[in-house]
Amino acid sequence: MDAVAPSEETLESEVSIPHFEELLEYRAEIDLDLIRDVMGGTAGSDIQRSVQVRGGDALAWYVTFHVRGAQWGIYMPLSSIAFMIGRVFSSINAAPEDLLKLAVRSLHQHELFHFAMDYASSQVEILTKRPCHKPARSLRDERYNYIVLEERLANANMIRSFWGRRLRGKTQALRDFVSMQPPGYRDAPQSTEGTAFRQDCDLLAGRYVNSVGEHSHQALSGLDGVGVLSKMPVDWRYCPIHVISDEHTCGLDSRWLDLFQRIEAVAESERFRKYLSRMPKPVQANWEEVKSRLSHTTAGAGLDFKFWKRTTEGSIYRKISR
């Protein structure tokens, strides 16, 4: 059975949580050619090598809330998003915005599973009044220094989050992406199907529970992992996301992707002001209103704020007047 293939089962139908990447506002165009150029070269090969050694966690990572002194949450470098678009999803013929959403989702959904396990371990700690996060480190495989089953399920969670989305080439791209990764990560297809996924999640949660020691059985009265893991899909709204602006490290400049959501100040050139002063009063009033609205969001209805072209001095955006 091809466990990576799309299934009738869709996660969206189980819980009505909006997807994080669907809520992002992409108002400007993404330079797909530039991303594919950069990621098709040395920069992409370097990132790919680290994925082959460290799995998906080479691209994004989760920092636990159990450790003080670090900002907990999911960390997502822009270079990794570019890698997913330009290398992993390079053969998918889709709008750049759709590829961007796929890229963000794939990184996010893997890490979100680590958050779910972290959350489960805190549930065990509350119920048993014993530490679980630290003893659960003993579940790590000595050869790889990670929990093999957890990485398998994190990648399975990622694959499952793509079900129900019809995009030609998506399945093969995901299959290739997962198979290039180390043991555990690459075994995700064995755990994607509904029953296998649930059983393996319970198995992993049970191992977390057992890592607490004998005391856990008494306090959890035989729950054995079932019940400490939150319902899937995980509600991402409980986990902070940190986007790292590191695109310069792989040769992309900050213009490749614009995620900005508002423009707080607009500087008008002398020429523009002269031109505007000759325009009818309603046009002038409209421009004032546009500036005010852009200071709140670039995505407002009717604003039509779009990327136009790239010049040596920077990117040019246009606002279509109505």
Instruction: Give the residues lining the site for Zn ion (CB under 5 A).
Output: 57, 151, 154
Q: How many CB atoms lie within 10 A of CB 215?
A: 11
Q: Tell me, what amino acid is at 66?
A: H
Rounded CA-CA distance 305/314 in Å is 16
DSSP string, 73-98: EEEEEHHHHHHIIIIITTT--S-HHH
Q: How far apart are alpha carbons 118 and 111 in whole angstroms?
A: 11
Measured from the CB atom, the residue of 20 and 113 that comes closer to Zn ion is 113
- Residue closer to Zn ion (CB basis): 57 or 247: 57
Task: Report in angstroms how near the CB of residue 113 gets to Zn ion at its nearest.
Answer: 7
* Residue number with CB closer to Zn ion (182 or 225): 182
Residue nearest to Zn ion (CB): 57
Q: How far is the CB of 144 from Zn ion (least distance, A)?
A: 11
* Total residues belonging to the chain: 322
Task: Report yes or no: 7 and 193 within 8 Å, Cβ to Cβ.
Answer: yes
CB atoms within 10 A of CB 1: 8
Given the complex with Zn ion, which of 31 and 57 has the nearer CB atom? 57
Q: Are 181 and 239 within 8 A, CB to CB?
A: no
At 245, the amino acid letter reads S
Q: Minimum distance between the CB of residue 36 and Zn ion, rounded to whole angstroms?
A: 26
Q: How far is the CB of 285 from Zn ion (least distance, A)?
A: 53
Residue 59 or 127 having the CB closest to Zn ion = 59
What is the closest distance, in whole angstroms, from the C-beta atom of residue 191 to Zn ion in the complex? 14
Nearer to Zn ion, 21 or 151 (CB): 151
The vertex-38 CA angle with 32 and 40, nearest 5°, equals 95
Shortest reach from residue 62's CB to Zn ion, in Å: 7
